[in-house]
Amino acid sequence: MIQLLSAGLRVNNNVFEILDQQLLPSQETWIAVQSPSHMVEIIKALKVRGAPMIGICAAIALAQYAEKTSSIVEIEHAAHELQNARPTAVNLAYCIGKMLATPRQDWQKGALWEAAVKLFHEDITLCESIAKHGIPLLKNGAQLLTICNTGRIATAGIGTALGIAYKAHELGMNIHVNVVETRPLLQGGRLTIWELKKQNVPCTLLIDNAAAALMQKGVVDAVFVGADRIACNGDSANKIGTYSLAVLAAYHRIPFYVVAPYTTVDPLCESGMHIEIEQRSFSEVHGVQGSFGNVTWAESSVQVFNPAFDVTPAELITGIVLDCGYFNQKAIKHGEHLKIEEK
């Protein structure tokens, strides 16, 4: 009997449930995943999000499906459908790749479940290792700044960028996390604040365009962000607004760290130029939608520029924290973040 439990997903035998992140923080509702195409819907609707989390959920959905079908071709078809649910995060491709690399003849004999469970546990370990390498970058009393949600519901473990803050807090360090709300989908204001409050980590919320003023006041000691894809040269794609924070941090001489598991590094992607950026719907910017309500303030006819991600060039990144170590600018230039022993 398979049992998995994290802040954002749970598996109890063949029942696979996901915490609906669109309904947070006002409602904690779990969705029972029915099929790979249901999972794709859930991913596209951002009911589950966070690059590592999406990969693991897709893997579990595939394992679950293998028990329901006798067709190898259908499993492969479902795998491709899952892999294409979102284009930017590389972890999704990584997880599905791991699943498909298992012996095909064992797919319906538990091999896919075994692979998915391994990915789940691997992610927990990755988060712990990331935190271990991130902690030395913090001083006691540090004021951090972060964007979006890179915590417990974005991974199977304690998180990536936010995981470092959780670990510091757990170790008794006195830290404070400043969170930009992260328009348009408000993952900072809705999810990260909810998580930090739950873990009793001191935090402050601000609008995205107040980050510069907070830095100008001298309040911010370091910026920690997640990543959806890290190119060979260190260029990193992450939530829209991350690049903005990187430019602001450089101007204010504040260290800017990208934090991710090694699975986010894409050895096939030479530079940021090659990262596909998903454009999302106008309605996200015409107003806000969520379990909290649905309001529109802008003229519905107005054209919108709404990329889901932006790319931060390596020269603005002080260092990349991976599970396998910390890589400063020089190390990134030498491609040391690419020389990773696979676990």
What are the catalytic residues?
228
Q: Cβ of residue 294: shortest distance to its own copies, in angstroms?
A: 8
- 151 vs 184 by CB, closer to its own copies: 184
CA dihedral (203, 208, 212, 214) in degrees, to 10, reads -20
Burial bucket for residue 3 (CB in 10 Å: 0-12, 13-18, 19+): exposed
Shortest distance (Å) from residue 340 CB to its own copies: 29
Of 131 and 314, which CB lies nearer to its own copies in the complex structure?
A: 314
Indicate the residue among 97 and 287 with the shorter CB distance to its own copies: 287
Q: Of 208 and 266, which CB lies nearer to its own copies in the complex structure? A: 208
User: Which of these, 123, 116, 10, lies nearest to 67 by C-alpha position?
Assistant: 116
**Residues facing 19 on adjacent strands:** 30
Is there a contact between 320 and 235 (Cβ–Cβ < 8 Å)? no
| CA quadruple 292, 297, 300, 301: dihedral, nearest 10 | -150
Q: Name the helix (H) or strand (E) containing 258.
A: strand 256-259
**Closest listed residue to residue 131, CA positions, set 177, 168, 173:** 168
Residues composing the chain: 343
Positions that interact with its own copies (CB under 8 A): 25-26, 147, 178, 180-184, 186, 189-190, 193-194, 197, 203-214, 216, 240-241, 243-244, 247-248, 250-251, 285-288, 290, 292-299, 301-307, 310-311
